[in-house]
Amino acid sequence: MLKYFYTALLTLVLSLPLNAQVESFEQQAQRLAEQSDPETQMNLGYMYYLGEEGLKQDYQKARQWFQKAANSGYARAQFNLGVLYANGHGVKQDYHQAAQWYQKAANIGYARAQFNLALLYADGQGVKQDYHQAVQWYQKAAGQGHSSAQYNLGMMYEDGQGVKQDYQQAMQWYQKAAEQGNPQAQNNLGVLYSNGRGARQDFIKAKQWFSKACDNGVQSGCDNYRTLHEHGY
């Protein structure tokens, strides 16, 4: 969609003199977005947020366009608005507002919003700390294949936060995240195999996962691999 948005804008400005094109691109972009669907409005917000296509980076204008799209119920814009509030970009940092916008997008089923909302519940930022709620939202995002949510859900099961401690469940979620290339999950999966938690102790599998974690930049994965190697595994 963003490609078509750029194409439409370029068509509008190509007939202008060169010295007027940069100046009018912003005006044409805003006019097109005002007349268009929420996705186009959100894309203009992205352009302001990143400072792309000749537009000066402007978090406040990014927020304005995200807000327009979010008010129309567009989940990605609601999520982006939550990110702005969480980071204080273009607005005063406000985790409560961030949580509200994440909640709206999460209710629609947007996995990234579900994950970020879970983080807020786990940390007690903008909402009362609630590990049970965190687990619920991690589960929703993890069920959609969100690897970080799968990893965090594995940790919740391993530590018994918000759920009964269950090493088998922890291993299952680490496995899903690890297979998607999540390096921390790869290391944690290796630890479970090494300790025989959630599955039969298996140093060969542990070493394989430690190797993957190490290759992906996790120092503890390298250390764990070396330890097993030094013990003859």
Q: Domain spans of the chain?
A: 1-72
pLDDT for the residue numbered 173? 99
State the Cα torsion 71-75-76-81 to the nearest 10°: 50
| Residue 31: per-residue pLDDT | 66
Provide the percentage of residues in the chain whose pLDDT is more than 90.
77
Greater confidence (110 vs 28) lies with: 110
Predicted confidence (pLDDT) per residue in 69-111, tens digit: 999 999 999 999 999 999 999 999 999 999 999 999 999 999 9
DSSP 109: T
Which helix or strand (DSSP H or E) is residue 186 part of? helix 183-195
Mean pLDDT of the region 35-39: 76
Report, as an integer, the average pLDDT of 48-64. 91
pLDDT at 28: 62
Higher pLDDT pick, 192 / 30: 192
Q: What is the mean pLDDT of residues 155-159?
A: 99
What is the band of 53 on the pLDDT scale with cuts at 50, 70, 90? Answer: confident
**Residue 191 scores a pLDDT above 70:** yes
Q: Do residues 207 and 190 lie in contact, with contact meaning Cβ atoms separated by under 8 Å?
A: yes
DSSP 163: S
- Asked if 105 and 135 touch (Cβ cutoff 8 Å), the reply is no
Q: Give the DSSP letter string of 7-65.
A: HHHHHHHTTS-HHHHHHHHHHHHHHHHHTS-HHHHHHHHHHHHHT-TTPPP-HHHHHHH
pLDDT grade, residue 36 (50/70/90)? low
